[in-house]
Structure 1
Amino acid sequence: MASWVIMELDRNSSNWTKLIEGIVRLEKKIFPKHESLARSFDEELKKKNNGLLYSEVDGEVTGYVMYSWPSSLCASITKLAVKENYRRQGLGEALLKAAIQKCRTRNVHRISLHVDPLRTPAMNLYKKFGFQVDNLIEGYYSSDRNAFRMYMDFDTN
């Protein structure tokens, strides 16, 4: 298994623009246009209580995960993407694990996410981490694409 270096996107970073461009390129490749945040990435990241972790190889973004913690009780994983030629190598898992850890430092009780039930590798990854299907949300992505809402609860003791 490859060893990944996962970094937190820092607004004050000297390579901010280059990183955002790399993330937007990946976003456009992976997600259908209406689901893509490509045009609003900068705005999304300016929002309070939003974070983004990414990995890169030779200056090229290979994957990222976005998360938010709208309240002290819950957080959500809003995006998880891995470049095609880096899939099935543990990168998605490493990104998800890092995002969960970031959310845990906020002492949230629950992390939730939405996933297309047809994206089997993603479903399997979330289940492996202990996410459970909460319910099916019809037409979540588009009129003909549903989503499972999944969640993971933490002990509050």
Structure 2
Amino acid sequence: MEIRIIEDFDQELLDKLVELETRTFRECGLSKWELVPLIQHGKLIVLFDDQDPVGFLELMNDWDDEDTAYLYALAIEEDYRNQGLGTKLIKSGMELLIEDGYSKASLTVDPDNEPAIHVYKDKLGFEKKKHENDVYGEGVDRYYMELDLAEYAKNKDNDFMKIAS
């Protein structure tokens, strides 16, 4: 397994990433038209098993607070779930954000997604900041969560995968 930041890509890799997006998020997955700008203007960190992408973390800058990065999406291929890979991928992303000078990371999560909330809150130290109703339509609520990266850096357990250069 290897984690890489995607900066250069070919159509084959882009197709594989779109397929992973679609399998994970169905009709809400990103298309090529959305992934390319994310690669060029955000951060796309991909977990590879050999040459196949099996997970990713999508990060972008928060325009309202330039010291905050927003975790746009996390996905792990179904056969690779429940092995701690998503947690390690996020930890690798947090290391990158610290290196890049960010002070906070934020995300949103479905209030019913208890496994994800457990990882974000209990394993990584994210705090719930607010609960908003109907964010993506009626009945589609979100918790807004935030992580102080300085606190995270003090308490981290170093159980992350180094990003390949």
TM superposition score normalised by structure 2: 0.81
1:6-155 equivalences under 5 Å are 6-11=3-8, 13=9, 16-33=10-27, 35-39=28-32, 40-47=34-41, 50-70=42-62, 72-127=66-121, 128-155=123-150
**Counterpart code for 1:36:** G
Which is further off, 128-137 or 71-80? 71-80
SS, match of residue 150 in structure 2? coil
Q: How many Å separate the matches in 2 of 1:116 and 1:134? A: 14
**1:78-118 CA distance string (max 9 Å, x none):** 11000001001111011101111111112222110011111
Tell me which protein shows more helix as a share of its residues: 2
**Counterpart code for 1:5:** E
Tell me which protein shows more strand as a share of its residues: 1
Q: How many Å separate the matches in 1 of 2:134 and 2:16? A: 29
Higher relative contact order (CA 8 A, sep 6+): 2
SS, match of residue 46 in structure 1? helix
Q: How many Å separate the matches in 1 of 2:59 and 2:115? A: 20
Unaligned runs of 5+ in 2: 152-165
Quote the sequence identity (%).
25
**Counterpart code for 1:38:** S
Q: CA RMSD in A?
A: 1.8
SS, match of residue 136 in structure 2? strand
**1:19-55 CA distance string (max 9 Å, x none):** 221111111111142x3222521133222xx101111
Distance 1:145 1:89, change over 3 A: same
TM superposition score normalised by structure 1: 0.85
The size of the alignment, in residue pairs, is 147
Unaligned runs of 5+ in 1: none
Q: How many Å separate the matches in 2 of 1:79 and 1:65? A: 6
Kept after mapping to 1: 8 A contact 2:58/2:74 = yes
SS, match of residue 141 in structure 1? coil
**Counterpart code for 1:52:** L
SS, match of residue 155 in structure 1? helix
